[in-house]
Chain A
Amino acid sequence: MTMFLQQLILGLRGGSLIALVALGIVMIFKTTGVVNFAYGYMGMFSIYIAYTFLNTVGAPLWLSVTICIAFAFALGAAAERGLLRQVRHLSKGAMLILTLGMLMIFEGLALQIWKQDYRSFPNLVSGVRMITIDTGRLVIRNQDILIFIVAAAIMAGLFIYFKYTKTGLAIRATAQNENAAKLMGIKVGVIFALSWGVGVSLGAVSAVLAAPRTFIHPNMMLPLQIRGLTGAVLGGFDSLPGAVVGGILLGVIEQFMGAYISEELKMALSLLIILVVLLVKPSGLMGSKAIERV
């Protein structure tokens, strides 16, 4: 029982991070119709900014993190406006290739500027909590609790934003029919840039939360990005709640696989389960029936 609960907590921690990544990827996909393969790498690049401010400039942690997230927003919006918008009229495939190119550019730039070294990044909150239950003790890090809180707050915030604000409505309208949105006078360009900005900042947030364990290096976000994409597929890829459910589920499944079956095979086994789920329900857990092929 103790082990089960302990693994569940760890699974939820991992799942929350995956859900954040999946949420950002799905949000960008839903509004602009492109899967951003550079997603994790943009988050990685942003956290180097936090690292630099923290260690080279000597700024306090909260300020470094704030700057990092603001930088990620600007980076996302600029990438959309400056690069993706330029090929938007060609095809979704062209935009997809462009994000792959961006992946390589950010990886290369990070290697050039900060080298391949693993660099440490502090927990935002330190300390550990013990919870005694009938059968033993559970260990929860404060950082993990923060991860839950941040993930839950962001998800709730996004939900409220989409449901109850004018811009949120405009984003949903644009996602469903770009031309109709234009005819309503919605500036779809601004909406695209905004979704990229918010999406990429979610990537930066997950990088900041994950960095104490993964360390900062140019490929730090690769595992999380793969899991985020997988979680998003599991959830349905065009559904924001689906991304959250898929991401958390993937984290928990993987943790249990690792704990009870095999640590080495956990990724493969998790993917197998997802494969089965998708065979039974090809649109994912919460996706809509038809997704446009890109």
Chain B
Amino acid sequence: MLKIEGLEVYYGYVMALKGITFQVKEKTITALLGANGAGKSTTLNTISGLIRAKRGKIIYKEKEMTHEDSSRIVKAGIVQCPEGRMLFPSLTVKENLLAGAYNQTKRTSVLEDMEDVLKLFPILSERRKQMAGTLSGGEQQMLAIGRALMASPQLLMLDEPSLGLAPKIAEQIFDRLIMLNKERDLTILLVEQNANAALAICDYAYILETGKMGLSGKGKDLLQNPLVRQKYLGA
């Protein structure tokens, strides 16, 4: 569904991505792992069109999207739920969700989508009229995912959805992601520092090491890999 070929990205003169290649297959959960500063967020932001790639290609459904505008990328069905949530703090929960549906043209389907999201995260339903900034961390993450879902993604990219959350809440969020993947056939590209959790739920995983692609393989296999265990799982 998504193919990244030899992607190179610079911040000024600093090379952040040194030609990475990977792919996300339709209806899978693909994880992109790595330590802080490995280039995970840079990868997602480049796919989303916030950062321009210097070299390499981003191919989505056989079409090259490398230098497309961010709004076109969202329209094509690639939606990112960014690191640190990045909600609109003084918009209400409902308004945040509506903002996510900015590119949807049919009012009825927007309302249906909102019902779906509120069913997925019932707590948001209670908080509908509250400012997003007043929500707890877990609720904010649910809202961020809900907002991304409102854009009707075919490929949902999540940047550190478990960051700063209590393990129990993080587990709930991962459960919802599995559900979205299994029941609605949503393709997911998951960026995580919590390698344990991510490897457990993903079909395939890639490990980034300071801008270069390191190991990759099936989630289950990587969980057993002694090198990965030692380096990323603290075992």
A54 at the interface (CB under 8 A from B): no
Q: A179-B50, A182-B50, A185-B70 are in contact. Are A169 and B95 (CB under 8 A)?
A: yes
**Does the CB pair A170–B99 fall under 8 Å?**
yes
Q: Which of A170, A172, A179, A184 interacts with B74 by CB under 8 Å? A: A184
Q: How long is the Cα–Cα vector from A61 to B118 in the complex, in angstroms?
A: 53
Give the nearest-CB partner of A186 in chain B. Answer: B102
User: Which of B71, B73, B79 is the most central at the interface, judged by chain A CB atoms within 10 Å of its CB?
Assistant: B71
Give the nearest-CB partner of A175 in chain B. Answer: B88
Give the nearest-CB partner of B76 in chain A. Answer: A185
For B147-177 the 0/1 string (1 means CB < 8 A from A) is 1100100000000000000000000000000
For A225-238 the 0/1 string (1 means CB < 8 A from B) is 00000000000000
Q: How large, as a class, is the contact surface on chain B?
A: 20 to 34
**Does the CB pair B91–A184 fall under 8 Å?**
no
Q: Which of B71-112 touch A at CB < 8 Å?
A: 71, 73-75, 79-80, 82, 86-91, 95, 98-100, 102-103
B43 at the interface (CB under 8 A from A): no
A120 at the interface (CB under 8 A from B): no
Q: A169-B95, A173-B91 are in contact. Are A183 and B103 (CB under 8 A)?
A: no
Report A-chain residues with C-beta under 8 Å of the C-beta of B102.
166, 169-170, 173, 184-186
Q: How long is the Cα–Cα vector from A183 to B80 in the complex, in angstroms?
A: 6
B48 at the interface (CB under 8 A from A): yes
Report B-chain residues with C-beta under 8 Å of the C-beta of A176.
88-91
**Does the CB pair B88–A183 fall under 8 Å?**
no
A213 at the interface (CB under 8 A from B): no
A177 at the interface (CB under 8 A from B): yes
Query: How distant is A200 from chain B, measured CB to nearest CB, in Å?
Result: 25
A187 at the interface (CB under 8 A from B): yes
Query: How distant is B90 from chain A, measured CB to nearest CB, in Å?
Result: 6
Report B-chain residues with C-beta under 8 Å of the C-beta of A170.
99, 102
A181 at the interface (CB under 8 A from B): yes
User: Which of A173, A179, A180, A187 is the most central at the interface, judged by chain B CB atoms within 10 Å of its CB?
Assistant: A180
**Does the CB pair A184–B151 fall under 8 Å?**
yes
Q: A183-B79, A185-B102 are in contact. Are A177 and B74 (CB under 8 A)?
A: no
Report A-chain residues with C-beta under 8 Å of the C-beta of B86.
177, 179-180, 183
- The secondary structure that dominates the A interface is helix
**Does the CB pair B147–A184 fall under 8 Å?**
yes
Give the nearest-CB partner of A187 in chain B. Answer: B71
**Does the CB pair A183–B87 fall under 8 Å?**
no
Query: How distant is A192 from chain B, measured CB to nearest CB, in Å?
Result: 14
**Does the CB pair A180–B88 fall under 8 Å?**
yes
**Does the CB pair A179–B82 fall under 8 Å?**
yes
**Does the CB pair A184–B82 fall under 8 Å?**
no
Q: Which of A183, A184, A187, A288 interacts with B50 by CB under 8 Å? A: A183
Report A-chain residues with C-beta under 8 Å of the C-beta of B103.
184-185
Q: How long is the Cα–Cα vector from A186 to B101 in the complex, in angstroms?
A: 10
Q: How long is the Cα–Cα vector from A169 to B95 in the complex, in angstroms?
A: 7
Report B-chain residues with C-beta under 8 Å of the C-beta of A183.
48, 50, 70, 74, 79-80, 82, 86, 148
Q: Can you give 14 contacting A-B residue pairs, CB < 8 Å?
A: A166-B98, A169-B99, A169-B102, A170-B99, A172-B91, A173-B88, A173-B91, A173-B102, A177-B87, A180-B87, A183-B148, A184-B102, A185-B151, A186-B99
